[in-house]
Copies of this chain bind each other. A is one copy, B any other.
């Protein structure tokens, strides 16, 4: 088997048709160059260069081999590039889970940035509720998720990528819509409240329950999707609490009211987390994590 150095030597001589000049181009002297070419010819099993004391020219076999040699060296030049780009996360695949709501404010900008900064990364999108995302992360089906707490922080790491207020959504002609001031928990006394599945949308379920705990509302519906909640509100089935970004969903016939979160803790209680396995090795993931906004 020949070596790459021998190929380079041959190509140089074939292009210069002169051992001395070729050696100079290769930053070496002529004797070892002659030997390399001889070795290559023995390895290939054919005379590649016809040479005497006056001239050097390619044999027909040499012409054919020159094409192969150039192609090989070009491949060698570029062989490492892809691996390097993958290693730096600039190429590869990212399997990204997201909830329907996370798509409103976060997913779009993220995908736009990725297609600009990491154009060679293929993003495979999976819309799933948070528990399904967590399961996918643990099974290795997903690299990154956009979901809500809680999750197993021993195995999964996360970062808050969006934080927003909670607000109320009521039918457009509802009495609460006319108040014109932030609503407090007491305003919901006696209201029919649509809430979330305690398992599939646990985060919003708990936010709702926590905010309304003292006012003892009637909570009946148990839905997973925020859009479904709003559609039910629009249909007059009750009122609900949703993240502020839901305003831009553009559902007709509903009104959104700010909430008065006096002592309930800090403002903007709705957190969206980017979630990934602590032991993940994907370079694309690492690279994408550096691109994510961080909200504390």
Chain A interface (Cβ < 8 Å from any Cβ of B): 1-5, 43-48, 50, 59-65, 68-69, 71-72, 75-76, 78-80, 82-84, 86-88, 91-92, 281-284
A65 partner residues in chain B, CB cutoff 8 A: 79-80, 82-83
Among B62, B68, B75, B83, the residue within 8 A (CB) of A71 is B75
> Which residue from B63, B72, B79, B283 sits with its C-beta under 8 Å from A79?
B72
State A62–B65 Cα separation when bound (angstroms).
30
Which residues does chain B contribute within 8 Å of A82, judged by CB atoms?
64-65, 68
A65 CA to B78 CA, complexed, in Å: 10
- Further pairs besides A44-B79, A46-B88, A65-B80: 17, Cβ < 8 Å: A1-B4, A44-B83, A44-B84, A45-B84, A46-B80, A46-B83, A46-B87, A48-B83, A59-B281, A59-B283, A60-B86, A60-B282, A60-B283, A61-B87, A64-B92, A72-B72, A72-B79
Asked whether, in the complex, the Cβ of B283 is within 8 Å of the Cβ of A80, the reply is no
Give Cα A91 to B284, complex, Å.
Answer: 47
CB closest chain-B residue, reference A6:
B4
Residue of A47, A62, A87, A281 contacting most chain B CB atoms (<10 Å): A87
State the CA gap A137–B60 with chains docked (Å): 17
Q: Is the CB of B87 within 8 A of A60?
A: yes
Q: How far is the CB of A221 from chain B (nearest CB, A)?
A: 44
Residue numbers in B under 8 Å from A46 (CB-CB): 80, 83-84, 86-88
Q: Verify A76–B84 contact, CB threshold 8 A.
A: no
* Known contacts A4-B4, A80-B44, A86 near B64 by CB under 8 Å: yes
Shortest Cβ distance from residue A94 to the other chain B in the assembled complex, whole angstroms: 11
Q: Are B283 and A61 in contact (CB under 8 A)?
A: yes
A73 nearest in chain B by CB position: B1
A47: chain B residues at CB < 8 Å are 87
Instruction: Tell me the bound Cα distance from A84 to B60 in angstroms.
Output: 10
